[in-house]
Amino acid sequence: MQNDHFQPHDHARCISTALDAAERFCAAQGLRLTPVRKRTLEILLSEHRALGAYDILAKLDADGFGSQPPVAYRALDFLTANGFAHKVEALNAYVACTHPGAEHAPAFLICRSCGVVEEAEAAPDKGPLARAAREAGFAIERAVVEAQGTCPACRSAHP
């Protein structure tokens, strides 16, 4: 794992790196990282926990963007469509991507105790699921891979 957000780390750097990557990617692809979209990404980046759409909406509203659900969902659609954020299906919540820009198949480690979500690589062509799919002749287009458990920090804190 190249990074480990369960441990203390330079989080300001997480934010600036990801934001910077998103800005470059949008510039290169002719995508518009508008104020709501950028702010939504900043909100997600502010923690390594998954936030519900309505949590995000409340913050956007406080910042003078609209107060209606589509405000948040549209921004999230943009961010997830372009790989800047992901939806965590098991939580119905959203998390900023830690290696944005490139196409990738994310997998998540979700700590039940502190709520931190760590992103890993799903490697969709390897592992038992891929084998089952090949045997059945099933063509995988997208994989949801989300592990819930306890992170090392929480385990040593509450033994």
The contact set with its own copies (CB under 8 A) reads: 1, 4, 6, 89-90, 92, 107, 109, 111-112, 118, 120-124, 126-129, 132-133, 135-152, 155
Q: Does 110 bind DNA (CB under 7 A)?
A: no
Query: Least distance in Å: CB of 133 to DNA?
Result: 25
What token pair was written down for 37?
């979209």
Chain centroid to CA 29: 21
> How far is CA 136 from each of CA 124, 126, 132, 139, rounded to the nearest angstrom?
15, 15, 6, 9
Tell me how far apart the alpha carbons of residues 106 and 122 are, in angstroms, rounded to a whole number: 5
What is the nearest approach in angstroms of DNA to the Cβ of residue 69? Answer: 3
Q: Are residues 97 and 106 in contact, defined by beta-carbon separation less than 8 angstroms?
A: yes
* Residue 32 CA: distances (Å) to CA of 27, 29, 37, 67, 81: 8, 9, 9, 21, 13
Sole window of 30-38, 95-103, 132-140, 143-151 interacting with DNA (rule: CB under 7 A): 30-38
Ranges within 35-54 binding DNA (CB under 7 A)? 35-37, 52-54
Could you say which of its own copies, DNA, none residue 8 binds, taking C-beta under 5 to 8 angstroms by partner kind? none
How far is the C-alpha of 19 from the C-alpha of 41, rounded, in Å?
Answer: 8
Nearer to its own copies, 36 or 120 (CB): 120
Q: Which is nearer to its own copies, 17 or 150 (CB)?
A: 150
Identify which range of 17-25, 63-71, 133-141, 143-151 contacts DNA by CB under 7 A: 63-71
Instruction: Give yes or no for a contact between 146 and 90, defined as CB atoms under 8 angstroms apart.
Output: yes
Q: Which of 63, 66, 140, 157 binds DNA (CB under 7 A)?
A: 66
Residues within the interface to DNA (CB under 7 A) = 30-32, 34-37, 52-55, 65-71, 73-75, 78, 87, 92-93
